[in-house]
Amino acid sequence: MSNTQFTITDQQRDYSQFGLSENPFPYSPVPDDDPAVYCGQEHATREISETVSTVLSTGKSKHLVITAKYGNGKSHTLKYTRSLIRDRSDVIVGYVAQPGEGFHDIYQEFIYDLGFDRIQRLAYEYLAVLSCEVTEFEPTGPDEMQRLIDDGEILLSELIPEAIRRLNEITAFADFARAMLHMVYEDTNLYAWQWLTADGIRYEQRKQMEIHSALDDDTSSVRAFTALKNLVVELGYTGIFLFIDEFESISRLSPKDKQTTLNSIRHLMDQNSHGLCVLFGCAPEVWQDVMSEYHAFSERIGKEVALKPLSDENLRYLVRSYLELARESGEETLAPFGEDGLNVVLQYSQGNIRQALSICSQTLDQAVEQDLDVIDAAFVEAQISNRS
Amino acid sequence: MLYRQRTLETPHGDLETPVLFPVSNVGKRSSDNTPAYADQIPDLRTAMVNARAIRQREPQWERLLDGSSLRQEMGVPDDTIVFADSGGFDFHTETLDTTPEKTLETQIRIDADVFGTVDLPLSREDRQAKNQRRINESIQYALAASDAHEGDSLLFASVHGHDPETVRNSIRYLDRHGDFDGFALGSLVPIRTDYRKTTKLILAARLATDKPLHVYGLGGLVYQPLLLYLGVDTFDSSSFIRSAGNRNYLIPGFGGREMHRIEGLEYLPCPCPVCGPRTTEAVRADRNLLVQHNLWALTIELRRFRYMIAAGEDIESYLELRFQGNDVTHRAYRMAKQQVRRLA
Ligand SMILES: [Zn+2]
């Protein structure tokens, strides 16, 4: 839309002239939560698979840093990896878009990403496991546990004191144990959730749950994270996957806060030699600084893998994969993009995935509008000059 | 609205609910004996007594063992329907001085119609572990009573909990594992000013089972319409005695007013048989008259509600009007209404 007037319509553009059901390229520069296409950078996928598989198969903790310049697919890679393991029933996966001011923020984002329902189900799941041991019932999961309580088959006043006692032992964090179990009480579950998300709750609400401490700093957040991990391992999960994107933003912090944050993550790793996998996405220059300034932290992270800009071949693969998502015939072809058109895309974007996808998306829309057959070099160039 | 009317069969006749059980302090070492009221209020042939207190007052207990009847001791007609609670509210100490069996024996001896099971009330201040233990013990006592109980008297399991899950879970557990004719929700008195919580707990109990529901200790003027609205079947109150002790004059819709504040008024506004023919001065001078009037006030409150139902009036508008005078109770009613409507 290069003219001066807006054309706003709810009518879908017709992409059928290209044999496409829609424009498959992402409009927004933010990667999808569940990316359908991943442009394989083989060395990267190999490292990620290796790290994830080690944790899954041995239960031992392993961590990885993925470095890439802005727009080269860090978030996309993290989110794609997350989408691959999120549906597994043997792990808990949480995504943190950026580290914020410290581990307290990382913890908070992680719990928010899991969500109220997931945390509540973990509480019921724990009660189910306990019921198998201390009652005649053998609930197979959270839903059945909830039903047994609702129907009065299992007596809460008998189960809860024992649950608190044992969860205390498992997590070594009495307040965490109480908060988790309060997730099953409708009167207090919002307060419990507030406490668990480190949102801060009023003293009276804490008192009602007999919770003595506040989750308000890095130290207590590390404790709570570890407690949660111990709980899920007790429940038979292999462990927790923590994705921290845009790790480079720690460079904005004061040297003291940066140090505190890195120390907290280091403590988290030290306290969890099993059942934890942290995957970082970070800009290479910031990671270089961390490597040189904070050995104690960086040496705990096994590996670094760098994402490269797209090659000519990568770009073709990427574009073909996206087009396939909307291709009505199922054919594998680059049409309507011409070879020379893609060369311009690559040149202009310098292999930056975000840029490349954005140009593809716009030129495809314009091609439809102008009833074009092929998106060639001249057309792409014209669109690019229109953009700027 | 959850209001409901039922007929419960008891050894001393049919009991039409919803109904109030006025607390009788028979057995208590007290000069404030409950005056006879049954003859004067025809629709109040009910009484709530405390089994433990009766058993502990030796001379009277001896007479009962010798064949005297409780109804004679109380000076009420023989067909008075008696609810005997275990007296749980006195057990603030750790050691329980009765057993389910002993309580049951007392309830049988005094020929009660409704038996409340032995229970350990909760305290708001107690640690949760302690309250959990008390909840659990009360459940075990109720189950023991269920095992030992036979005969035509109704057995109501006493239930405690300061959250809806516990109340629901306890009632359903008892319903499943014991044989009860109804349930009685306790431990609400200490939290009664928290209306939201109290109505939530009552609703949880009301919806956990279809069996009759009694609520202990909240049948006073303010709560009564709420209990009716929430479909509570039976309730008790000692407020008419306690208020009279404080020289408080109860007026439906207004609550209590201290007698000494009423000045320059020859006659009181109440048409009941106590106030109607007497001067303000006469009622003020006689505590027994004040008790009787206060009981009339509670009865009139119930009669009004029943009338509104019978006349097909819109109960929610009636209650809206009824609670208008007092911000706190008006809010309480609004909250109850929201909670009830959410169920619809
Ligand atoms: Zn009167």
CB contact under 8 A, B165 and A149: yes
Whether A206 and A214 have beta carbons less than 8 Å apart is answered as yes
How many A from CA of B252 to the centre of ligand 1?
Answer: 10
**A323 class by beta-carbon count within 10 Å (0-12 exposed, 13-18 middle, 19+ buried):** buried
Please list, in sequence order, all residues whose beta carbon lies within 8 angstroms of the beta carbon of residue A23, skipping any fewer than 6 positions away: A13, A15, A326, A361, A364, A365
Q: How far is A153 from chain B (nearest CA, A)?
A: 6
Among all chains, which residue has been given the structure tokens 């005997």? B84
Inter-CA distances, B174 with A130, A364, B85, B115, Å:
22, 68, 18, 15
Q: How far is B226 from chain A (nearest CA, A)?
A: 21
Whether A231 and A126 have beta carbons less than 8 Å apart is answered as yes
Q: Which residues does chain B have within 8 Å of residue A157's beta carbon, measured at their own beta carbons?
A: 132-133, 135-136, 139, 161, 166, 169-170
Consecutive H or E run containing B211: none
CB contact under 8 A, A157 and B166: yes
Secondary structure letter of residue A137 according to DSSP: -
| B173: contact with A, CB 8 A cutoff | yes
Rounded to whole angstroms, how far apart are CA atoms A122 and A138? Answer: 16
Q: Confidence band (pLDDT; 50, 70, 90) for A73? A: confident
Mean pLDDT of A155-176: 95
Query: Tokens for B92?
Result: 């603030």
User: b vs e for B212-237, b when ≥16 Cβ sit within 10 Å of the residue's Cβ?
Assistant: bbbbbbbbbbbbbbbbbbbbbbbbbb
Q: Closest residue of B to A158, CA-based?
A: B136
Pick A186's closest partner by Cβ from B135, B164, B172. B164
pLDDT tens, B19-53? Answer: 999 998 776 655 456 666 666 888 889 999 999 88
How many A from CA of A216 to the centre of ligand 1?
Answer: 59
How many A from CA of B255 to the centre of ligand 1?
Answer: 13
Pick A161's closest partner by Cβ from B129, B164, B175. B129
Q: Closest residue of A to B175, CA-based?
A: A152
Pick B165's closest partner by Cβ from A164, A185, A210. A185
Query: Tokens for A335?
Result: 């049409």
Q: Which of A60-74, A104-118, A240-254, B223-237 has the lowest mean pLDDT?
A: A60-74
**A-contacting residues in B 187-216 (Cβ below 8 Å):** 197, 200, 208
pLDDT tens, A27-46? Answer: 665 666 666 666 667 788 88
pLDDT of residue A340: 80
pLDDT of residue A200: 82
Single pTM value for the model: 0.84
Give the residue among B304, B216, B194, B285 at the shortest CA–CA distance from B247: B285
Query: Given phi > 0 = left and psi -120 to 50 = alpha, else beta, which region is B250?
Result: beta
Q: How many CB atoms lie within 10 A of CB B337?
A: 17
pLDDT of residue A357: 84
| B139: contact with A, CB 8 A cutoff | yes
Collect all residues from A whose CB is shorter than 8 A from any CB in B.
Answer: 149-158, 160-161, 164, 184-188, 210
CB contact under 8 A, A157 and B139: yes
pLDDT of residue A388: 58
Q: Closest residue of A to B161, CA-based?
A: A157
Rounded to whole angstroms, how far apart are CA atoms B104 and B85? Answer: 10
Q: Which residues does chain A have within 8 Å of residue B166's beta carbon, measured at their own beta carbons?
A: 156-157, 185
- Bridge partner list, A73: none
Mean pLDDT of B199-213: 96
Q: Which residues does chain A have within 8 Å of residue B136's beta carbon, measured at their own beta carbons?
A: 155, 157-158
**B132 class by beta-carbon count within 10 Å (0-12 exposed, 13-18 middle, 19+ buried):** buried
| B176: contact with A, CB 8 A cutoff | yes
Whether B281 and B289 have beta carbons less than 8 Å apart is answered as no
Q: How far is A123 from chain B (nearest CA, A)?
A: 15
Q: Which residues does chain B have within 8 Å of residue A187's beta carbon, measured at their own beta carbons?
A: 163-165, 197, 200
Q: How many CB atoms lie within 10 A of CB B178?
A: 18
How many A from CA of B294 to the centre of ligand 1?
Answer: 7
Q: Tell whether the model's pLDDT for residue A3 goes beyond 70.
A: no
**A124 class by beta-carbon count within 10 Å (0-12 exposed, 13-18 middle, 19+ buried):** buried
**A10 class by beta-carbon count within 10 Å (0-12 exposed, 13-18 middle, 19+ buried):** exposed
Q: Tell whether the model's pLDDT for residue A118 goes beyond 90.
A: yes
Q: Tell whether the model's pLDDT for residue A247 goes beyond 90.
A: yes
How many A from CA of B278 to the centre of ligand 1?
Answer: 9
Q: Closest residue of A to B133, CA-based?
A: A157
DSSP assignment of A226-249 equals: HHHHHHHHHTT--EEEEEE--GGG
Q: How far is A200 from chain B (nearest CA, A)?
A: 22
Pick B168's closest partner by Cβ from A150, A160, A188. A150
Torsion of the alpha carbons at A289, A294, A295 and A297, rounded to the nearest 10: -110
Q: Tell whether the model's pLDDT for residue B301 goes beyond 90.
A: yes
Q: Which residues does chain B have within 8 Å of residue A210's beta carbon, measured at their own beta carbons?
A: 127-128
pLDDT tens, B47-102? Answer: 999 998 888 888 889 999 998 899 988 888 899 999 999 886 555 565 677 788 88
- Bridge partner list, A343: none
Going A307 to A313 to A315 to A318, the CA torsion angle's sign is: negative
pLDDT of residue B171: 98
Cα atoms in the 13 Å half-sphere on the side-chain side of B196: 4
Rounded to whole angstroms, how far apart are CA atoms B287 and B170? Answer: 41
Percent of chain B predicted with pLDDT > 90: 65
Please list, in sequence order, all residues whose beta carbon lies within 8 angstroms of the beta carbon of residue B65, skipping any fewer than 6 positions away: B109
How many CB pairs (< 8 A) connect A and B? Answer: 62
Q: Tell whether the model's pLDDT for residue B217 goes beyond 90.
A: yes
Secondary structure letter of residue B90 according to DSSP: G
pLDDT tens, A267-318? Answer: 999 999 999 999 999 999 999 998 888 888 888 887 888 888 878 888 888 8
For residues A11 and A365, which has the higher predicted lDDT (pLDDT)? A365
Whether B119 and B141 have beta carbons less than 8 Å apart is answered as yes
Q: Tell whether the model's pLDDT for residue A2 goes beyond 60.
A: no
Pick A155's closest partner by Cβ from B129, B169, B197. B169
pLDDT of residue A348: 81
How many A from CA of B247 to the centre of ligand 1?
Answer: 14
How many A from CA of B113 to the centre of ligand 1?
Answer: 29
